[in-house]
């Protein structure tokens, strides 16, 4: 269901769960194992998650959920599945390196929730985005209601979830759902450039800055204090001193 590779500190995860990369239990289990691996290895600074299919991901496993509906504990089963996926998305969000969702087709439901758990969303012109769960009487319970509202604001989140609008790639950029949009013939080259720039950053600093950004809207966190703790840690580690010295030796510094 996944192809995984690492080169020059750039990890690439290619999804292939035909026909639409649905978040089946098997898919979720494999992604959990992948996150286990990413959490423990230190040979990557950036991970790109993308699809080998025409669609990024159509989201939750509706066929699987429907098969549970006749059970007496259907509500508990579906809630447990949603909780499991929600926890997985949180783990993906909190990976120590930078995560990029590279979206070339539709990212719907859980597929968009996966993209929202990434640090950056990069799209091509063929990409589409939506959370259409309400149409089948459900809700985006893998973090979608929270992350979309945080990313785009309450008005946009209301439009996408309650109205059921599917956004084009251009619209997604306009509402701040996508950070970068490239034409299809430019996308691979541009993606390699961005990933390479991130991969060249010091790994510890990447993780600390991610934590500071996340602390900005956390009610129980002082983001300014995180900055001081973080810079003290980075100086103590010695990497900053080496990089500053190299920078100062450059003729154009």
115-161, pLDDT tens digit by residue? Answer: 999 999 999 999 999 999 999 999 999 999 999 999 999 999 999 99
Write the CB contacts of 210 (distance below 8 Å, at least 6 apart in sequence): 96, 98, 119
Cβ atoms 12, 48 nearer than 8 A: yes
Residue 218, pLDDT above cutoff 80:
no
- Per DSSP, the three-state class of 170 is helix
What is the pLDDT averaged over residues 209-228? 87
**Residue burial 139-173, b: 16+ Cβ < 10 Å; e: rest:** ebbbbbbebbbebbeeebbeebbeeeeebebebbb
Of 29, 93, 104, 133, the active-site residue reads: 133
Residue bearing the bigger pLDDT, 219 or 231: 231
Q: Write the DSSP assignment of 10-42 as a string of letters.
A: EEEEEE--TTTTEE-HHHHHHHHHHHHHHHH--
**Percentage of the chain lying above the pLDDT 90 cut:** 80
Mean pLDDT estimate for the chain: 93
**Percentage of the chain lying above the pLDDT 70 cut:** 99
Cβ atoms 151, 202 nearer than 8 A: no
Of 113, 179, 190, 227, the active-site residue reads: 113
- Residue 104 annotated to the active site: no
pLDDT at 252: 63
Q: Look at the chain and count its residues.
A: 253
- Residue 183 annotated to the active site: no
46-50, 63-67, 76-80, 164-168: the lowest-pLDDT one: 63-67
Structure tokens at 239: 């990497």
Q: At which residue do the structure tokens 């539709």 appear?
A: 106
Residue 250, pLDDT above cutoff 90:
no
State the pTM of this model. 0.93
Query: Could you read off the pLDDT of 73-121 as tens digits, one per residue?
Result: 989 988 999 999 999 999 999 999 999 999 999 999 999 999 999 999 9
């Amino acid at each position: 269901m996944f192809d995984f590779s690492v080169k020059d500190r750039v990890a690439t995860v290619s999804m292939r769960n035909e026909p639409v990369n649905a978040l089946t239990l098997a898919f979720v289990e494999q992604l959990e194992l992948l996150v286990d691996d990413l959490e423990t290895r230190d040979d990557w600074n950036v991970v790109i998650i993308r699809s080998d299919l025409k669609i990024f991901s159509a989201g939750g496993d509706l066929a699987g959920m429907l098969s549970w509906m006749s059970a007496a504990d259907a509500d508990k089963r579906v809630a447990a599945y949603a909780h499991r996926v929600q926890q997985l998305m949180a783990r993906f969000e909190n990976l120590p390196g930078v995560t990029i969702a590279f979206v070339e087709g539709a990212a719907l439901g859980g597929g968009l929730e996966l993209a929202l758990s990434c640090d950056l969303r990069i799209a091509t012109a063929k990409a589409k985005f939506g959370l259409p769960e309400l149409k089948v009487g459900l809700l985006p319970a893998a973090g979608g209601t929270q992350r979309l509202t945080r990313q785009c604001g309450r008005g946009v989140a209301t439009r996408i979830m309650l109205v059921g609008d599917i956004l084009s790639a251009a619209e997604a950029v306009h509402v701040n759902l996508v950070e970068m949009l490239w034409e299809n013939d430019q996308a691979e080259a541009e993606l390699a450039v961005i990933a390479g720039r991130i991969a060249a950053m010091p790994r510890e600093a990447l993780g600390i800055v991610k934590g500071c950004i996340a602390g900005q809207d956390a009610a129980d966190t002082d983001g300014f204090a995180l900055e001081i703790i973080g810079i003290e840690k980075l100086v103590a580690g010695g990497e900053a001193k080496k990089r500053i010295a190299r920078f100062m030796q450059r003729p154009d510094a």
